[in-house]
């Protein structure tokens, strides 16, 4: 096994890399390609074959970075995943410039510091560390690194990449570096987002009987859904949920609305058939509403008793000093897209930063966690390839 502390010349420092990434504004996908090209530089120097997967043809900056060390290797590789985009800054004033990449009191501040540029920097640096040894060895191993764009809008980058299975090579297990405060998480709920639409006929509001009020139709639909439950639960992930989250209708106060739109956000657990769930919603609402699936991501769950899962907890906790408990995430991640390609691939969500600090004003990531994340990834990569070919 290698030590992560090995000093390497001309290699970016993990924390400096994270600072630089924060300085690229990648709010909702802007400048993604530019930031990813910056990462591709040292990766290509280290021997990674890098390419960019465009996920939205209407936006030249929309991209995911696909880096492979030795694609010709047939043995199971380790997959590493993250995302480069961030949410907007929000309306409240920041005490630290959200694009400054400033470190104060051991914390890297900025939008994306926690979610998840600290994690991306640690992944990239650990991949570079591995490349040095691997390139020097006679046994060339593949290591697969995907840094996606468009995650915050609904995992667009990873969903598009997932249509091209060849981008993933032959992974045997995968790590997604979303913030988990360096605790290995065994999975998360799935998501099924539906938009329901009703249509009617507009008329002057003084003569409502001349029109057909789409808002009234939608309110009846919403009332039927008020007590709708997916009726499923999981021992760690908890109950599957359903929530009505937005209602839009009408353009002005004196016209009968001819259109109404309602969104339903459902979070599911392993074993829930999303198509069947959407059918149950349709049966509940009746024929009044047209239903569109806007996001469909399966739940992610990896058996925590798998030898690899146990090993990840042991190796991580040996570095963090934490207790190796089985935990899961509240949020969903790009791991769901990976799961659609590889239904049985063991996956772990593990990254620096407190998930509660994602998306907040004055978001930060402790610098020590970024450094520890690199050491953890180095250990996990070395462990994966040791004894495998
Ligand atoms: Zn994230």
254 CA → ligand 1 middle, Å? 43
d(CA 388, CA 142) in angstroms, rounded, equals 12
261-287, pLDDT tens digit by residue? 999 999 999 999 999 999 999 999 988
Match domain 190-297 to its CATH number in 3.40.50.620, 3.50.50.60, 3.30.70.360, 3.40.50.360.
Answer: 3.30.70.360
pLDDT at 389: 57
Distance separating alpha carbons of residues 361 and 286, to the nearest angstrom? 42
185 CA to centre of ligand 1 in angstroms: 14
Using only C-alpha atoms, what is the Rg of the chain?
Answer: 23
In the reported structure, the alpha carbon of residue 232 is separated from the centroid of ligand 1 by a whole-number distance in angstroms of 26
Contacts of 110 (CB under 8 A, 6+ apart): 22, 23, 96, 97, 98, 99, 100, 101, 102, 117, 363, 364
CA of 333 to the centre of ligand 1 (A): 7
Residue 179 CA to ligand 1 center (angstroms) comes to 7
Distance from the alpha carbon of residue 241 to the mean position of ligand 1, in angstroms: 21
8 confidence band (pLDDT: 50, 70, 90): very low
Residue 217: per-residue pLDDT: 97
* Delimiting residues of CATH 3.30.70.360 domain(s) in the chain: 190-297
> What is the DSSP pairing of strand 171-176 with strand 347-349?
parallel
pLDDT bin (cut points 50, 70, 90) of residue 116 is: very high
Minimum mean pLDDT range among 2-6, 21-25, 99-103: 2-6
Q: What is the pLDDT of residues 54-101, one digit of tens each?
A: 999 999 999 999 999 999 999 999 999 999 999 999 999 999 999 999
CA 305 to ligand 1 center in whole angstroms: 26
Which two structure tokens, joined as six digits, stand for 216?
């009234």
What is d(CA 342, CA 68) in angstroms, rounded to the nearest whole number?
Answer: 18
pLDDT per residue over 215-261, tens digit each? 999 999 999 999 999 999 999 999 999 999 999 999 999 999 999 99
Short-list 357, 350, 352, 355, CA closest to 380: 350
Distance in Å, CA 99 to ligand 1 centroid: 17
Question: What integer is the mean pLDDT of 333-338?
Answer: 96
Residue-by-residue DSSP string for 310-359: HHHHHHHHHHH------B--SS--THHHHHHH-TT--EEE--SS-GGGTT
Instruction: Tell me how far the alpha carbon of residue 318 lies from the centroid of ligand 1, in angstroms.
Output: 25
Contacts with 11 (C-beta within 8 Å, 6 or more apart), sequence order: 42, 125, 128, 129
pLDDT for 213 equals: 98
CA 65 to chain centre: 14
Query: 331 CA to middle of ligand 1, Å?
Result: 9
Distance 89 CA to ligand 1 centre (A): 14
What's the gap in Å between 31 CA and the centre of ligand 1? 17
Per-residue model confidence (pLDDT) at position 10: 65
| Residue percentage of the chain with pLDDT more than 70 | 97
Domain ranges in the chain with CATH number 3.40.630.10: 14-188+299-385
CA of 34 to the centre of ligand 1 (A): 19
Q: How far is the CA of 57 from the centre of ligand 1 (A)?
A: 23
> What's the 277 CA to ligand 1 centre distance in angstroms?
26
| Packing angle, helices 307-320 and 367-385, rounded to 10 | 140
Count of residues in the chain = 389
CATH superfamily of 14-188+299-385: Zn peptidases (3.40.630.10)
Residue 115 alpha carbon to ligand 1 centre in Å: 5
Task: For residue range 286-323, list pLDDT tens digits in order.
Answer: 888 999 999 999 999 999 999 999 999 999 999 999 99
| Average pLDDT of the segment spanning 346-369 | 96
* Four-point Cα dihedral 94, 100, 105, 111, nearest 10: 60
| Distance between CA atoms of residues 185 and 355, nearest Å | 12
**Bridge partners (DSSP) listed for residue 27:** 86
Nearest in space to 243 (alpha carbons), one of 208, 210, 220, 267: 267
What local confidence, expressed as pLDDT, does residue 1 receive? 35
What is the distance between the alpha carbons of residues 271 and 168, in angstroms, rounded to a whole number? 25
Specify burial of residue 356 (Cβ count, 10 A radius: 0-12, 13-18, 19+): exposed
Rounded Cα–Cα distance for residues 345 and 339 (Å): 7
Reported as type and span, the H/E element at residue 373 is helix 367-385
Distance CA 119, CA 371 (A): 10
CA of 95 from ligand 1 middle (Å) equals 22
**Separation of CA 284 and ligand 1 centre (Å):** 33
pLDDT bin (cut points 50, 70, 90) of residue 47 is very high
| pLDDT for residue 4 is more than 70 | no
Residues, CB within 5 angstroms of ligand 1 (ion):
115-116, 178
At residue 370 the predicted structure's pLDDT band, cuts being 50, 70 and 90, is very high
Q: Looking at residue 388, what is its pLDDT?
A: 72
Backbone torsion region of residue 387, taken as left when φ is above 0, otherwise alpha when ψ lies between -120 and 50, otherwise beta: left
Report the chain's terminal Cα–Cα distance, integer Å. 15
Distance in Å, CA 291 to ligand 1 centroid: 28
52 Cα–ligand 1 center, Å:
20
Give the chain's mean pLDDT.
Answer: 94
Residue whose tokens read 């004033």: 93
User: What's the CA-to-centroid distance between 83 and ligand 1, angstroms?
Assistant: 7
What's the CA gap between 206 and 220, in Å, rounded? Answer: 22
At residue 140's C-alpha, the angle toward residues 134 and 145, to 5°, is 70
Ligand 1 centroid–CA 121 distance in Å is: 14
Mean pLDDT of 123-145: 94
Distance CA 100, CA 102 (A): 5
Q: Of 244, 218, 238, 240, whose CA–CA distance to 229 is shortest?
A: 240
- C-alpha 112 to ligand 1 mean position (Å): 8
Q: Is the pLDDT of residue 9 over 80?
A: no
């Amino acid at each position: 096994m290698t030590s992560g502390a090995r000093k390497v010349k001309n290699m970016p420092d993990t924390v400096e890399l994270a600072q630089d990434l924060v300085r690229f504004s990648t709010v909702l996908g802007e400048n993604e390609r530019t930031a990813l090209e910056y990462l591709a530089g040292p990766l290509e120097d280290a021997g990674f074959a890098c390419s960019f997967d465009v996920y939205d043809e209407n936006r030249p900056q929309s991209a995911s970075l696909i880096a492979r060390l030795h694609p010709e290797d047939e043995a199971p590789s380790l997959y590493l995943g993250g995302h480069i985009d961030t949410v907007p800054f929000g309306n409240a004033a920041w005490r630290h410039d959200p694009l400054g990449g400033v470190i104060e009191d051991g914390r890297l501040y900025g939008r994306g510091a926690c979610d998840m540029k600290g994690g991306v920097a640690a992944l990239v640096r650990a991949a570079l560390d591995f490349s040095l040894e691997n390139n020097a060895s006679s046994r060339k191993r593949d290591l697969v690194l995907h840094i996606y764009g468009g995650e915050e809008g609904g995992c667009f980058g990873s969903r598009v990449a997932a249509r091209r299975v060849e981008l993933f090579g032959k992974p045997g297990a995968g790590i997604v570096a979303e913030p988990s405060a360096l605790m290995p998480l065994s999975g998360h709920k799935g998501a099924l987002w539906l938009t329901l639409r009703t249509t009617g006929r507009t008329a002057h509001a003084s003569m409502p009987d001349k029109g057909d009020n789409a808002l009234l139709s939608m309110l009846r639909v919403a009332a039927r859904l008020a007590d709708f439950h997916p009726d499923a639960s999981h021992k760690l992930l908890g109950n599957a949920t359903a929530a009505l989250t937005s209602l839009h209708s009408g353009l002005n106060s004196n016209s009968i609305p001819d259109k109404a739109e309602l969104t339903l956000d459902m979070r599911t657990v392993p074993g829930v058939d999303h198509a069947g769930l959407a059918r149950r919603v349709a049966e509940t609402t009746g024929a009044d509403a047209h239903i569109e699936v806007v996001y469909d991501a399966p739940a992610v769950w990896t058996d925590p008793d798998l030898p690899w899962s146990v090993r990840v907890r042991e190796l991580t906790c040996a570095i963090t000093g934490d207790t190796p408990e089985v935990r899961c995430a509240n949020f969903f991640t790009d791991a769901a897209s990976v799961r659609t390609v590889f239904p049985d691939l063991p996956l772990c969500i593990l990254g620096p930063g407190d998930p509660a600090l994602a998306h907040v004003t004055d978001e930060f990531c402790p610098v020590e966690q970024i450094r520890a994340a690199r050491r953890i990834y180095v250990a996990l990569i070395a462990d994966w390839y040791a004894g495998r070919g």
